[in-house]
Every structure is written in structure tokens, then in C-alpha cells.
Amino acid sequence: MGQLLKGKVAVVTGGTRGIGYAIVKKFLEEGAVTVLCGSRQETAKAALEKIKAEMPDAQVEAIWPNLSDRKQMSEVLAEVKRKYGRLDIMANNAGISQNTPLFDYKDEDFDKILDINVKALYSCTRAAAELMKETGGSIINTSSIVSFNGQGSGCGYPASKFAVNGLTKSLSRELGRYNIRVNAVAPGITRTDMVAVLPEEMIKPLIRNIPMGRMAEPEDIANAFLFLASDLSSYISGAILPVAGAIVI
């Protein structure tokens, strides 16, 4: 195990699978006490059991709060700080994607993506920042490569990620006086569970558009989170870091 995050305490939302699970493992490998958040109790506990089987000595626990409920998030994060003495890293990774065409969108589906991808990030960030005001900290948001140029269908998803970028840049300026850094990672096409089940005829055209000739692995994204969480990036704030193999969408 490394020591880049030794002595630090981290919370990772969307930490039960894919990129979020890789972030949790990376933080633990580098010495951080890590709290993973899941959307449901059963998925959070399953991820916790898997982590403990792979890393029996890791300091990790699982929670499953309503991320969009700011009062609940304030209480949950305050409990994390009470239990471990500090909160250093807030990784806002929870999110959902959509590719619904405009004329097929249901209003409730558009509301849902904004609630999870934007409101939850706001709630978690505000609750974390309140606890970091005296000590500083690092807040890292999951954006997307489509936050730069949009996508051909499913306007709600890139709209939510443009909002993530806006929050990241604005809050980096507002919270800098407290030594709270706010950055975002913008993944490209990544080999998650959802992508893994796609047929080969869908995968090959995607990879052909990536100059580096492969899609990202979850660990590629987790490495970017590690850098932005660690003191190696102590003077970096307001950055939107693409991790996309040089693809331009």
C-alpha cells in the first residue's frame, strides 16, 4: 500500500461499483480511512463485504444516505467527522446517465437526472465544506467528457455535467479562502459494468474514435481522483481534468 493519503479521511458517493468502487479501493490502498456511500443498503453492504474480502485490514465502512437531502447529509458527514476526527476528502461520484431523445423525455426523468447529478452534488459539497472550513480539504466531482461538447441525444446528462463544471469552477473560487480545493474529473468511455455488457459491434466503433486506442479502465479514473485528493495537487483548484485518451466528442 502507498501513503499518499495516510492519515486522511474520505467519503466517496456512488462507491458501490464501477468508477466509484475503484476510487474507494485506491483511497484505501493509499492509506485513507474511507466511507463509501451507496444508493441502497443492500448494494452498500455488498460492496463493503467485497472490499473487506479483498482488503481485510482496510479502514472502511458503508452508508446509504439520501444524497439530495442536505440536512441528512450534514448529519451523516458530521457523524463521520465525530467518529474519525476529521473530513479531508469528499468525492462526489454518484450519478446517472441518460440518452433519451428530446421528444421522448418525460419531465420526471429530466428532474431525476438533475436531482442526482446536480442537487446531490450541491448537498454533499455544502455539507462537506462546512466541516472543512477550519482545516481545509479536497472536494472532487465526477464530470464527463460530454460536459465540453454535449452529446447527440439525451440532453439532460450533458446539461447536468455542464452544471457540475460550473459548480466546480465557482466553488473553487469561493472556497479557496478556506484552503478547500474543488476540482472535477471528466471521464471518457470507461469499461464499467454497463459498458461491459455491450455487444462487440457497439464497442469497436467507440474505440476507433479514441486516439489512444482503448477505453479507460475504472482505475485510470481512480488515479486522477487520487492525484486531486492528495497533496501532490495542493495548488490545483478549479480544474476539470479529462481522462479520456485524447478523445474529442
What's the grid cell of residue 215? 477505453
Please indicate whether residue 157 is annotated as part of the active site. yes
Cα–Cα dist 191/163, whole Å = 24
What's the grid cell of residue 77? 458527514
Q: Where are the alpha helices (DSSP H) in the chain?
A: 18-29, 41-54, 70-84, 107-114, 120-132, 146-149, 156-175, 193-196, 200-208, 218-229
Cα–Cα dist 111/160, whole Å = 10
Beta strands 89-92; 60-63: pairing state: unpaired
Residue of 21, 105, 122, 157 marked active site: 157
Cα–Cα dist 90/128, whole Å = 7
Cα–Cα dist 122/117, whole Å = 9
Cα–Cα dist 32/12, whole Å = 11
Cα–Cα dist 228/157, whole Å = 24
Cell 497533496: give the residue.
231
Cα–Cα dist 135/132, whole Å = 5
Q: Which residues are catalytic?
A: 157
